[in-house]
C-alpha cells in the first residue's frame, strides 16, 4: 500500500531543488515499463539500498499497474518475491529490506489474493524447505503446525511480518465492494493457520522479538475482528483462545510493553473480545507479588514508560469492570480499588512528572458517576455494597486533595503550556 519515494540516491543529494528533481525523475521512472526489469535487477544486488528501492518499485508498480499483469506473470512475480524475501533473512543486515519486501508481498496479496490461497502455510513451507511450491496445487492436508515447528526463529519472524502486513492492509480496504468481500473472505480462511502461528510465536521464550512480533500480529487480527464486528464468530473464538498467552506474557520484562499495549487497547476499545476467564486471569495477576513490585515502583515515582503503562493497564481494567469493582464481595476487588486509589498518591507533580494522576482522577470521576446512577443517598444504608463504595470515594477525595499542590511558581513556569492547561483541568475536578 506504500508508494513513498525514498530511494538511496537521495542520500547523495543536498539541495532541496536537487532532491525535488531526483524524486520527480525517479517517480517518472517508476511509471515506465522498464521499471519492472530494473526492480528485479536491484533485488538481485548485494546493495541494501538498491534492494530497498527495488522492493519499493514493485509496490508502486503493483498499485498502479496490477491490471496489466497476466496471471502467469503475477505467479512468476510471487515466486521471485518469496525468494528475495527468504534471501533477505538468510543474509540479514537489518530490517530495512525484509520489511519492505513483506510490504511488497502484502501488496501482491491485495491485487492477486486469488493466486495466493493458504498464504500462511504456503510461505511457511517455502521458507522451511528452501523450495518454491505452486500455491494453487498445495495440498490442504499439510499440517501447518508441524511445518512451523521446523522453522528457526528468524523464519518464524519472517512469516509473522508478512501475515501482519497483509492483515493491516486488508483492514484499510473497503469491505463493501466486491473485491473487498473477496479479500475479507480470503483472510478469514487463514484464521486457523494464523492462530497456530500466533500460538507458537507467543510461546517463544528464547527470542523476545518473536513473541513481540506475535503480539503485534495478534493486534492486527484483533483490529480485523473489530472491523468485522459480528460477521465471523470463528475468528473471535480463535483470538479469545490466544488471549491467556498475552496475559501470561505480562510478567516477562522483555514482553511486558507489547503485551500491556495490546491489553490496554483491547480493554479500552474492544472489551467484548475478553471473556470472564480473561478478566479473572487479569485480577489474579493484579493481586500477585509481581504486580506488588510493579505497583511499588510506580508509586515511588519510577519515570520509566513501562511503570506508567502498568498504571494505565490497571486503570483500563478498572474502567471496564467499574461496576464489578463497586459491587463485588470478592476480596480481590477491594485490593484493586485500594490500588486504584493509591495511584492518586504516587510521587511526582501531576502531569509533568506523574502521568497517571489525571487518568486516575478520570477513573474515579467515572466510578462516582456510575455509583450515583445505581444508588441514591437515601438508599445507601439499605444497599449492601453502597456504604463501602461511598467510603472508598471519600478516601479518594482525601488522597486527591493532599496530592493537588501546585509546584513552585518558578518550576511551574517552565512546564509547557499543554501540561499547565492539563493541570488546571485536573485541579478543577
pLDDT, one tens digit per residue, over 262-290 is: 999 999 999 999 999 999 999 999 999 99
pLDDT of residue 408: 62
The neighbouring-strand residues paired with 350 are 354
Q: Is the dihedral of CA 230, 234, 240, 245 positive or negative?
A: negative
Of the candidates 79, 95, 8, the one whose C-alpha atom is nearest the C-alpha of residue 40 is: 79
Question: Quick one: pLDDT at residue 201?
Answer: 96
369 pLDDT higher than 60: yes
Q: What is the pLDDT of residue 322?
A: 96
Q: How far apart are CA 79 and CA 38, in angstroms?
A: 17
- Mean pLDDT, residues 144-149 taken together: 94
- CA neighbor of 243 nearest in space, from 213, 204, 214: 214
Query: Over the stretch 208-241, which tens digit does the pLDDT of each residue have?
Result: 899 999 999 999 999 999 999 767 789 999 999 9
Dig out the grid coordinates for 121 from the structure. 502455510
Supply 4's cell numbers: 513513498
pLDDT at 422 (0 to 100): 61
The cell for 41 is 535487477
Give me the pLDDT at residue 261, please.
98
Q: What is the dihedral of CA 228, 229, 231, 234, to 10 degrees?
A: 90
Kindly state the cell numbers that stand for 139.
Answer: 495440498
pLDDT at residue 428, rounded to an integer: 55
Identify whether the C-beta of residue 175 lies closer than 8 Å to the C-beta of residue 181.
yes
List of residues 6+ apart from 16 with CB closer than 8 A:
none
Identify which of 142, 145, 123 has the alpha carbon closest to the alpha carbon of residue 200: 145
371 pLDDT more than 70: yes
Q: What is the mean pLDDT of the chain?
A: 88
Q: What is the pLDDT of residues 410-423, one digit of tens each?
A: 665 666 666 656 65
Give the model's pLDDT for residue 34: 82
C-alpha angle 121/158/143, rounded to 5°?
Answer: 20
CA distance 214 to 218: 6
Overall size of the chain counted in residues: 429
CA 315 to chain CA centroid, Å, is 19
Share of the chain above pLDDT 90, in %: 67
Residue 380, pLDDT score: 84
C-alpha cell at 335: 485490593
Residue 1 has pLDDT above 50, yes or no: no
Alpha helices in 91-207 (DSSP H): 96-112, 119-129, 144-149, 153-171, 178-188, 191-202
Amino acid at each position: 500500500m506504500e508508494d513513498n519515494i525514498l530511494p538511496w540516491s537521495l542520500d547523495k543529494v543536498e539541495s532541496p531543488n536537487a532532491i525535488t528533481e531526483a524524486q520527480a525523475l525517479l517517480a517518472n521512472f517508476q511509471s515506465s515499463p522498464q521499471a519492472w526489469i530494473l526492480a528485479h535487477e536491484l533485488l538481485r544486488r548485494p546493495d541494501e539500498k538498491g534492494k530497498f528501492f527495488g522492493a519499493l518499485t514493485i509496490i508502486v508498480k503493483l498499485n498502479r499497474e496490477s491490471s496489466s499483469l497476466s496471471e502467469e506473470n503475477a505467479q512468476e512475480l510471487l515466486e521471485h518475491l518469496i525468494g528475495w524475501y527468504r534471501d533477505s533473512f538468510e543474509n540479514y543486515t537489518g530490517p530495512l529490506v525484509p520489511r519492505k519486501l513483506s510490504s511488497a508481498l502484502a501488496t501482491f496479496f491485495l491485487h492477486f489474493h486469488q493466486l495466493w490461497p493458504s498464504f500462511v502455510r504456503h510461505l511457511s513451507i517455502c521458507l522451511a524447505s528452501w523450495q518454491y511450491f505452486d500455491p494453487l496445487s498445495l495440498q490442504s492436508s499439510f499440517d501447518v503446525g508441524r511445518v512451523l515447528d521446523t522453522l528457526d526463529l528468524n523464519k518464524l519472524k519472517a512469516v509473522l511480518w508478512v501475515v501482519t502486513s497483509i492483515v493491516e492492509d486488508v483492514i484499510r480496504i473497503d469491505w463493501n465492494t466486491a473485491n473487498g468481500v473477496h479479500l475479507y473472505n480470503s483472510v478469514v480462511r487463514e484464521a486457523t493457520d494464523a492462530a497456530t502461528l500466533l500460538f507458537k510465536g507467543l510461546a517463544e521464550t528464547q527470542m523476545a522479538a518473536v513473541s513481540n512480533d506475535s503480539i503485534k500480529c495478534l493486534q492486527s487480527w484483533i483490529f480485523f475482528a473489530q472491523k468485522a464486528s459480528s460477521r465471523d464468530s470463528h475468528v473471535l473464538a480463535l483470538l479469545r483462545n490466544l488471549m491467556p498467552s498475552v496475559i501470561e506474557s505480562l510478567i516477562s520484562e522483555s514482553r511486558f510493553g507489547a503485551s500491556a499495549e495490546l491489553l490496554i487497547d483491547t480493554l479500552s476499545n474492544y472489551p467484548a473480545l475478553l471473556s470472564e476467564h480473561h478478566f479473572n486471569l487479569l485480577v489474579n495477576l493484579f493481586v500477585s507479588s509481581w504486580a506488588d513490585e510493579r505497583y511499588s515502583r510506580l508509586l515511588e515515582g519510577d519515570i520509566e514508560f513501562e511503570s506508567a503503562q502498568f498504571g494505565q493497564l490497571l486503570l483500563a481494567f478498572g474502567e471496564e469492570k467499574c461496576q464489578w469493582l463497586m459491587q463485588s464481595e470478592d476480596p480481590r476487588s477491594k485490593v484493586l480499588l485500594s490500588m486504584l486509589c493509591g495511584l492518586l498518591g504516587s510521587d511526582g507533580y501531576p502531569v509533568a512528572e506523574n502521568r497517571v494522576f489525571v487518568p486516575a482522577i478520570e477513573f474515579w470521576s467515572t466510578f462516582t458517576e456510575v455509583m450515583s446512577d445505581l444508588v441514591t443517598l437515601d438508599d445507601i444504608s439499605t444497599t449492601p455494597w453502597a456504604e463501602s463504595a461511598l467510603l472508598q470515594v471519600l478516601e479518594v477525595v482525601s488522597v486527591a486533595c493532599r496530592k493537588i499542590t501546585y509546584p513552585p511558581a518558578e518550576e511551574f513556569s517552565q512546564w509547557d503550556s499543554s501540561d499547565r492547561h492539563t493541570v488546571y483541568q485536573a485541579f478543577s475536578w
